[in-house]
Structure 1
Amino acid sequence: MTTAAATLPEAFRDLERYVADWALPTRQERYDMRLSKPFEELVDFYDAIAPRAEEAIAYLDTLDLNAMSEDATRLLRLLYSLVLVSYAVNVFKQPRIPDSGSAFFDTVAEPAV
C-alpha cells in the first residue's frame, strides 16, 4: 500500500516531503519543477538530499534496475532531481541558467527507469 507516509524505502522515509515535487518521471518535468521553485526551496531540497546521496546510491546499487519497486524508483528519481538542482544551487545560484534567454532543451530519451 502506498501512502503519503510510505512512498520511499524505509531508510529514506525522512525525505518523504520531497517526493510529490521531485520524484517526477521525466527530465522535463524535473526541469520545469526547478524553474517553478524559488531558489530557497531548491537549496532546501539540495541540502536535504545531497548528504544522503551516497547512501541512496549504495542502496539502489543492490537492486535490479529492471525490477525496481515503486518506492526505490521514487528514490532514484529524487537523485535525478538532485543532479538537476545541484547546478542551480552550486553553479548558477538561481533556478534558471543565466543569460540563456528563452533557450531550452528537448529531451529525446529518458533513462530506462
Structure 2
Amino acid sequence: MTNQATTLPESFRELEPYVADWALPTRQERYDMRLSKTIDELGEFYDAIAPRAEEAIGYLNELDLNDLPDDATRLLHLLYSMVLVSYPVNVFKQPRIPDSGAAFFDTVAEPSV
C-alpha cells in the first residue's frame, strides 16, 4: 500500500488501511462515511487510531498548519474522523445520534485546513 494517495507519515503507516475511508477532506464526507458504517466498523477504526492520537497531534504540532505536506494532511483528516466517530463509539453505541429520526444537518462552512 505505497500508493502516494494513501501514504501517511512513516511512523503512522500502520493506519494505512483506514486512509481510503477516513482521510476525507470535508466534515460532510466524514459524516456520510460514519453513517455508512456499522458500529463495529466505527469501533475498529476508533480503536486503531485513538491510541496514536496524542502522538499524531504532537507530530502535526511540529509542522506549519498552513503548509502541511500531503501525508500529514491525511493524518490530520484521520484525526478529524476519529473525533467524529468518538461519540458514536463511546456514547451513542450506534452510528446515528439516538432519537434523531430523519433529522439531519448540513455543514455550510469548513475550517480552512
Q: Structure 2 CA distance, aligned partners of 1:65 and 1:109?
A: 19
Counterpart for residue 112 of structure 2 = 112
Q: CA deviation at 1:108?
A: 1.4
Could you tell me which residue of structure 2 aligns to residue 96 of structure 1? Answer: 96
Aligned counterpart, 1:45: 45
Deviation at 1:31, TM superposition (A): 0.4
Structure 1 unaligned spans of 5+: none
Q: Distance in 1 between matches of 2:49 and 2:99?
A: 28
After the TM superposition, which parts of structure 1 deviate over 2 Å for at least 4 consecutive aligned residues? Answer: none
Instruction: Give the aligned length.
Output: 112
TM-score, normalisation: structure 2: 0.95
Partner of 1:66: 66
* TM-score, normalised relative to structure 1: 0.95
Cα separation, partners in 2 of 1:64 and 1:29, compared to 1, 3 Å? same
Structure 2's unaligned 5+ residue stretches are: none
Q: Distance in 2 between matches of 1:65 and 1:103?
A: 34
Q: Confirm whether residue 26 of structure 1 aligns to residue 26 of structure 2.
A: yes
Q: Which residue of 2 aligns with 1:78?
A: 78
Structure 1: distance between partners of 2:4 and 2:40: 24
Displacement of 1:16: 0.2
User: Which deviations, in whole Å up to 9, do the C-alpha atoms of 1:41-99 show, x marking residues without a partner?
Assistant: 00000000000000000000000011000000000000000000001000100001010
Distance in structure 1 (CA, Å) of the matches to 2:109 and 2:41: 28
